[in-house]
Amino acid sequence: MSESGPGLSGGGLFGGGLFGGLFGRGGAAVDDHAWLQAMLDTEAALARALERAGLVSAGAGAAVSALAVAGRFDANEIGRQATLTGNPVPALVRELSAAVPPEARDAVHRGATSQDIIDTAAMLLARRGIQAIEADLAVAAGRAAALAQEHEATVMAGRTLLQQAVPVTFGLIAAGWLVAIDDAMAGLARVAADRLAVQFGGAAGTLASLGEAGPAVAVLLAEELGLQAPVLPWHTDRGRIVELAAALAGVGAALGKVARDVTLLAQTEIGEVSEGGPGGGTRRVGPPGEHRRGGSSAMPHKRNPVASVLVLGCTKRVPGLLATLAAASEQELQRAAGAWHAEWETLSDLLRLTGSAAAWSADLLGGLTVDAARMRANLDAAGGWPLSEHVAAVLAPAIGRLAAHDLIAAAAHSAEAGTSLTDALLADPLAARALAAAGIGRTQLEAAVDPAGYLGASAEFVRSALAAHRQRKGDQISER
């Protein structure tokens, strides 16, 4: 059976219900239909593998595959029957077996246990989800790269502990987003390439029911599904699940950082960036007459950073899901008593929320508006004080580094609100004498508080990030 999912990159798939469009956006399909199809894909692939191994009659694999279609089965009824067995596989196997021709029934579920089917289905869902997430991350990374290049020299206030610090460039901030997203994509790619494996061990991980043919069937099953063939079954070795969860959490961390920065920079009092729709326009998500993007039910004037807020609404839940999967990784002997069951919906939620965050992030960065003039105005409003480190460096050769630091600190303490750094130093008698002795006047001080002259390696870092991004894209193309 084909394993192509219904998801569309860039937020084409919206989940149903009140919150589906908010937290189920993107192409990481993990609903009942997706799970059911993934389990059926596994059963069909197993039938084909058994046929290739000569253990079932010719044509059995095709017969099972033709009927392994989720739309033929009632997920609600299978779920009801799952309450009798603790998982949905026995009911699904019974219905699939009843549907296939009698001569092909021996190929249904032969040698497998319920965990083999669910774990392998989870790996298929993870792969499909990763592909959708990567597509949206690639869009987000491309836009971050464009912002970094466009604003390499756009000066703005750096902020530490939410207070103005030495100046940076917006290009450097966007380059930081870019590197984090690229690193998160690399983490996902490693998991997709090396850690998504079939599960096929039978009742207790020995494949005893298939005799000597068991290991060969496991390899054939992996080939049929395009997944890794593990060294041995991993029923209670959950490292693969934890690594997958950690890679998804890495995506959440990168995207949450972008969204948090945008919410802070979009505050009314700062106003250095703002959200639009894709391409920068205001986006409607419904027919005319509905609220525009960013609107408020109580305050018509508002333009809230909706995409950023929803990214954070997704990513804030990710660490808890990772913790649950990590806690569930300790499993008893040859089959877990509850911990395995705790993984199913947790992993589904993690894929869904990470996919939604990625889709919203592509939207967010695709429509981000940068106000360079406001950035410079906010920096200038600080009166040069964020450049105190640079002024201290200018004074240090004459009076020493610590003395220069203390001199500026004293001037800051005695200066009235709104006084610039230059005026405060020149008005302070002790500082004025030190400056005169060092031959430093207003001209030199004004040069020292010019933000453009104290950007350090910002431009070099931006160029390095862009070069690494281009290299990564080139490597991806060559791998294809």
In angstroms, rounded to a whole number, what is the distance separating the alpha carbons of residues 115 and 202? 8
DSSP state of 206: S
∠ CA 16-20-22 to the nearest 5 degrees?
145
What 3-state DSSP class applies to 224? helix
Percent of the chain with pLDDT over 70: 90
The mean pLDDT of 69-95, rounded to a whole number, is 96
pLDDT value of position 17: 81
Strand partners of residue 169: 155
> Which is more confident, 412 or 222?
222
241 contacts 329 by C-beta, under 8 angstroms: yes
Taking Cα atoms as reference points, which of 104, 18, 113 lies closest to residue 61? 104
pLDDT band at 15; cut points 50, 70, 90: low
User: What are the E-state strand segments in 335-407?
Assistant: 369-370
Closest CA to 28 of 435, 451, 354, 384: 354
Burial 307-336 (b: 16+ CB within 10 A, else e): bbbbbbbbbebbeebbebbeebbebeeebb
Predicted pLDDT at 292: 52
Q: What is the pLDDT of residue 23?
A: 85
Distant-in-sequence, close-in-space partners of 298: CB < 8 Å, separation ≥ 6: none
CA-to-CA distance for 131 and 28, rounded, in angstroms? 8
Active site residues: 296, 335
pLDDT band at residue 325 using 50, 70 and 90 as cut-offs: very high
Give the number of other CB atoms < 10 A from CB of residue 270. Answer: 16
**H or E stretch including 160?**
strand 155-160
Task: Tell me the per-residue pLDDT of 374-430, one tens digit each, with 9 for 90 and over.
Answer: 999 999 999 999 999 999 998 898 888 998 999 899 988 888 888 999 999 999 888
- What does the pLDDT read at residue 2? 39
* Cα distance between residue 410 and residue 378, in whole Å: 24
Query: Which of 465, 470, 400, 475 minimizes the C-alpha distance to 438?
Result: 400
Mean pLDDT, to the nearest integer, of 26-47?
94
Q: Which has more confidence, 477 or 387?
A: 387
Render the burial of 15-33: b for 16+ CB within 10 Å, e for the rest.
Answer: beeeeebbbbbbbbbbeee
Place 276 in a pLDDT band, splitting at 50, 70 and 90.
confident
pTM for the model stands at: 0.89
Give the separation between CA 270 and CA 134, rounded to whole angstroms.
32
pLDDT one-digit tens code per residue, 138-166: 999 999 999 999 999 999 999 999 999 99
Between CA 220 and CA 208 the distance in angstroms is: 17
Which two tokens mark 395?
A: 């004074």
CA distance 435 to 438: 5
Is residue 266 within 8 A of residue 203, CB to CB? The reply is: no
Residue given tokens 């494949």 in the structure block: 207
